[in-house]
Structure 1
């Protein structure tokens, strides 16, 4: 009963603040404040507040949260142990042993010409011969002259 009264008072105060904000001609902000103020009132009217208050003060509910937490700890612990062991267990003993993966198996099969030979030293590509600086700016000069600059 106290939780419903507090939520109703918060909603009334929020609607009052929204009215003052609307009086100052800030209608968008007033509408947003009114929306936030109506949330606690809606929660009271739907019964969520009563359910939450009953749950918060129920020892059975807290025991249920404890059981859920314990289950989570068991799940996390078993996954950690499974990762540490390298997933060895029932599935590894029943399955046939696998050969180790070849080191070149993950390289793309584009042929020997596409891959560089690791024994040959790399050479830097030669730069193309550079034309005169005047030739580089001739296009720009023509555009500037066309526009009278």
Structure 2
């Protein structure tokens, strides 16, 4: 009796949190919270709490509990399908949701003035001399760093 009360209270609290989350226009998160919160209530109604003590009896409450577990599973899978569809769409178009687009960090936040350039066309690059046998392969890297003033 105490376990059923606790599970029912947890489910009610979860549904309340889901309602508040939906009020804040975060519908996928609210659906996920609602799905999680229906699981304890479904387990109580199916008799899973008392399963060890008694054999499962076929009563309408048990079948309603299985229905709630099925509804919870359906909510989970539909949220996952919507998230996958949104992720696939943002990869194809290159534009994510507004929240994802604003969280992208700039490519070079600490770029210095010489690396940004002055807007004037630069002189054509001089061909680099062939590396001698004794030189390292780092000459290309050194040239790039010198070009950017590093």
After TM superposition, the score normalised by the length of structure 2 is 0.35
